[in-house]
Structure 1
Amino acid sequence: MSAETHAASGGMFDWTLPASDYCDPALYQRERKEIFARSWMLFTWSERLKNPGDYVSGTLAGYPVFVIRDDDGVVRAFHNVCRHRGAQLLEKEEGHCGKLVVCPYHSWSFTRDGALNKAVDFGEGIAFDPQAWGLYAIDAEEWRGLVFLRIARGDESLIDWLGPIHAMAADYPLEQQHYFMSKDRDCAVDWKVYGENYLECYHCRTMHPGLCQSLDIDNYRIDTYATDKFFHLHAPKRDGGLTRGLYFYRFPFLMLNLYDWGSSIATVEPLGPGRIRHINWYFFNDVSPEKAEANRQSAEWSAQIVTEDLDIITGVQRNLEAGIYTRGPLSPKYEYAVKAFQNMCRDGLAPKAPLRGVAAE
């Protein structure tokens, strides 16, 4: 019998990950570099970057970054750090920087494509190569109005990373949808605890009465694509229910809920071991004032389900950290996708080629 299975009356079950995996600072740093930095991560949406010089700044798994529309209309992304003394270049969450990105500390300036423009009054006879001393670039690509970034450079394209999701979502009108509202929450929950909760409906009858009125829970299922590292969630609609669409979870933490009339698009910003920011954007085809109240009610209905999840898994996280619970059994009937998710976590920490664009330990 392997260490991962255990005999019970009538069959076998798999174990969860050890409780310590959800709160270990050293493991989190490995996840940050080996899993997060290697993955495409959803960062913003294209409508915020309409014109050359428009930018959005923020963090990805603890890395301060920004994206900017360059002079040719291409979205580029960089670490939000000056090459001189490490100052933060762009302090606002979004804005327009003009022709140059100028450091607020010593006025070094950089072009929109990241090259060094000028090291102001640095010293007589000293010249810096504009490319060698340009900003630290990261990968950036757009997909159907969404902007994704990747810290470690030069691996598979965003389309390849999305895999079958790209074709499966082709008929849903993302490009016709417009941003309506956000619901962001900082939570004392590990990113893995959140992912595992998302990938099972064992808890749905207990935790989500509103959802169960809308969905045919008896026919709910999750298809696991281990090679492509994504999950296709099937949630058939009951008569009169609000939900009908296409639902994906792409490892490590991209959630796409797509409908003909709008989308609920979510991701997680890991803030440390046992801490996340849950980020949820709501887009609709029609964002006119006449539809505002109906759109708000739809978004709030979705957000309430997330609230129900976060309330219970915050207690899960506390108990994982308390030192009594060590691990538990996974239901082969309901929690097979959780097991697949945990295998992806293990695989993500397997030895790989050195990272490009990420500092060594």
Structure 2
Amino acid sequence: MTQPFNTNGIQWTLPASAYRDPALYERERKQIFARNWSLFSWSERVREPGDYVSGVSAGYPIFVIRGDDGKVRGFHNVCRHRGAQLISKEEGHCGKVVSCPYHAWAFSRSGRLIKATEFGEGGPAFDPDEWSLYEVDVEEWRGLIFVRIERGGQDLKSWLGPIDTMAADYPLDTQKYFTCKNRDVDVDWKAYGENYLECYHCRIMHPGLCESLDVDQYRIDTYQNEWFFHLHAPKREGGFTRGLYFYRFPFLMLNLYDWGSSIATIEPLGPGRVRHINWYFFQDVSPGKAKENQEAADWSAQIVSEDLDIVLGVQRNLNAGIYQRGPLSPKQEQAVFGFQEMYRDAMAGSGDPLRIAAE
């Protein structure tokens, strides 16, 4: 017998199977990952025409490149001829053309086919526009580069919604990249997001955070229609300066300060597995500030490590099969419930019974 997600006044979690099901994960790729903007890189990495960055978004290998017109464009990292990978390095600079390393088909920096080699006299005439590279949507915001696999839909500023205005006086676009910490972990993206969106665990697990912020006044405002959360608490005496903290569904995390920023996202690698990506930017990245900046980055990374350690155990139990569901605290976990409602809305029509909590 199944139980609905809300019974007798109890708000239930998603079923444990939702965090490990390969078929469900494939639907998430299409319904959620491909349709939403994803953080991909930062603008300084592609400063000049021909500069590129390659990577993976929603499971699709892609690259972004600065064109001769100064615009950043994004393409699937696949040749139109036989499907070869066009770009092998994570970042770099190409000449006037993107040349396939397999059979030397050549494409312009704007993705247009320039040359299809060795088809002989009388061979097919390939229309350069029809045979251009498969494009993805790309936009820049405040020095960050976002991509979207499924083309069309909201522009990036509309997708960010109130975040764009609320963050306007934080100097994100003048801050410089300092360091990163990326980790591949056996955790589902939803399990990590739900952990991020409650401070129920903060006093138990995050002593460093509790020294800096007054967690007794920690609050998370849920903007259900805009699919984002505003996290805030006043700093303690001697804590960090004012900050602005956002989580934009499905997995964009912005922690903004006057002096620097911690920018994080998730790249889902499969059901129950993610790459956690965290970049640190500072207003002053001079050698004299290196030690102080590293200490700030390490402090932030330690909190992430504390979270990942506990969520790894959660994921093991979600996979094991004994735990099926749990109740959500109306006092402490309303943002978790909001996240799960956003998930249900995003998956609506995918053929998945997510209105059912557990067998």
So what's the TM-score if we normalise by structure 2?
0.95
Question: Aligned runs of 1:327-346 on 2, under 5 Å?
Answer: 327-346=325-344
Aligned partners of 2:221 and 2:231 also within 8 Å: yes
Map Cα deviations across residues 215-248 of structure 1 (whole Å, 9 max, x no partner).
1011000000011000000121000113530000
Q: How many Å separate the matches in 1 of 2:172 and 2:131?
A: 38
The separation in 2 between residues aligned to 1:82 and 1:249, in whole angstroms, is: 35
**Structural RMSD (CA):** 0.9
The CA deviation at 1:127 is: 1.2
Give the aligned residue type for 1:152: E
Specify which of 242, 251, 258 is matched with residue 253 of structure 1. 251
Structure 2 residue corresponding to 1:212, chosen from 180, 205, 210: 210
In structure 2, how many angstroms separate the alpha carbons of the residues matched to 1:5 and 1:153?
Answer: 35
- Residue 351 of structure 1: CA displacement? 2.8
Match of 1:166 in 2: 164
Q: Which amino acid aligns with 2:279?
A: W
1:270 to 252, 265, 268: 268
- Match for residue 197 of structure 1? 195
SS for the counterpart of 2:138 is: strand
**Given the superposition, is the C-alpha separation of residues 116 and 300 from structure 1 closer, same or farther in structure 2, using an over 3 Å criterion?**
same
Partner of 2:294: 296
Distance 2:30 2:173 in 1: 32
- Deviation at residue 61 of structure 1 after TM alignment: 1.8
Structure 1 residue 88 corresponds to structure 2 residue 65: no
Query: How many angstroms does 1:67 deviate by?
Result: 0.1
Shift of 1:121: 1.5
Deviations 1:190-217 (A, max 9, x none): 0000000000000001110111111101
Q: What does residue range 102-113 of structure 1 map to in structure 2 within 5 Å? A: 102-113=99-110
Query: What fraction of aligned residue pairs are identical, expressed as a percent?
Result: 72
The residue that corresponds to 2:97 in the other structure is: 100
Q: Is the 8 A contact 2:65 2:109 kept in 1?
A: yes
- Return the alpha-carbon distance in structure 2 between the equivalents of residues 3 and 91 of structure 1: 48
- In structure 1, what is the equivalent of residue 4 of structure 2? 3
Corresponding position of 1:240: 238
* Per-residue deviation, residues 8-39 of structure 1 (Å, max 9, x unmatched): xxxx3200000000000000000001100000
SS at match of 1:135: coil
Give 1:27's aligned amino acid: L
Q: Does 1:176 align with 2:174?
A: yes
1:307-326 map, 5 Å: 307-326=305-324
Distance 1:251 1:347 in 2: 12
Q: Give yes or no for contact 1:232–1:247 (8 Å, CA) kept in 2.
A: yes
> Does residue 12 of structure 2 align to residue 32 of structure 1?
no
Aligned residues: 347
Gaps of 5+ in 1: 353-361
| Superposed displacement of residue 350, structure 1 | 1.4
Q: Does 1:132 find its partner at 2:130?
A: yes
How far is the alpha carbon of 1:124 from its aligned partner? 1.7
The answer to whether the Cα contact below 8 Å between 1:214 and 1:240 also exists between their aligned partners in 2 is yes
> 1:52 aligned to 2:52?
no
- Please state whether the residue corresponding to 1:316 is helix, strand or coil: helix
Q: What one-letter code is carried by the residue in structure 2 that aligns with 1:52? A: P
Distance of 1:351 and 1:115 partners within structure 2: 36
CA distance in 1, matches of 2:81, 2:108: 15
| Cα distance in 2 between the residues matched to 1:277 and 1:235 | 28
Alignment gaps of 5+ in structure 2: 351-359
Residue matched to 2:17: 20
Distance 2:245 2:299 in 1: 16
